[in-house]
Amino acid sequence: DSGVTQTPKHLITATGQRVTLRCSPRSGDLSVYWYQQSLDQGLQFLIQYYNGEERAKGNILERFSAQQFPDLHSELNLSSLELGDSALYFCASSVNGAMGYGYTFGSGTRLTVV
């Protein structure tokens, strides 16, 4: 157990729907990162939050949004889902988000859009 908790582990939903993925960072970590891993694209950085505020944004679609709550857990919202959104979504956390000391990854949420 890495200490980063992601729920749910698996999600199957239909095109056009909206889902929320949840991440609880490791105790003491202030920074949360979201990554998407598709079969043909490797791990793609989506967005980072640090202590409740958005810190960096990657190739995140406008249909996707995220937030980090006061208790530091984070949610990634995916809407108007398309078949191509099927992927593994990873959350990672680190202590301060500024030094990149080997993020700790959660086990991921496998999203299947049918």
Per CB under 8 A, residues contacting other proteins are: 2, 4, 31, 33, 35, 41-45, 48, 50, 55-56, 58, 88, 90, 97-108
In single-letter form, the type of residue at position 13 comes to: T
Closest approach of other proteins to the CB of residue 16, in Å: 28
Report whether 19 contacts 111 (CB < 8 A).
yes
Which residue, 1 or 71, has its beta carbon nearer to other proteins? 1
Closest approach of other proteins to the CB of residue 61, in Å: 17
Look up residue 25 and give its DSSP letter. P
Closest approach of other proteins to the CB of residue 42, in Å: 4
Torsion, CA 53, CA 55, CA 59, CA 63, rounded to 10: 10
Closest approach of other proteins to the CB of residue 17, in Å: 24
- Rounded Cα distance between 73 and 70, Å, is 8
Which residue, 2 or 80, has its beta carbon nearer to other proteins? 2
Which residue, 8 or 58, has its beta carbon nearer to other proteins? 58
List all residues 6 or more positions away from 61 whose beta carbon is below 8 Å from its beta carbon.
none
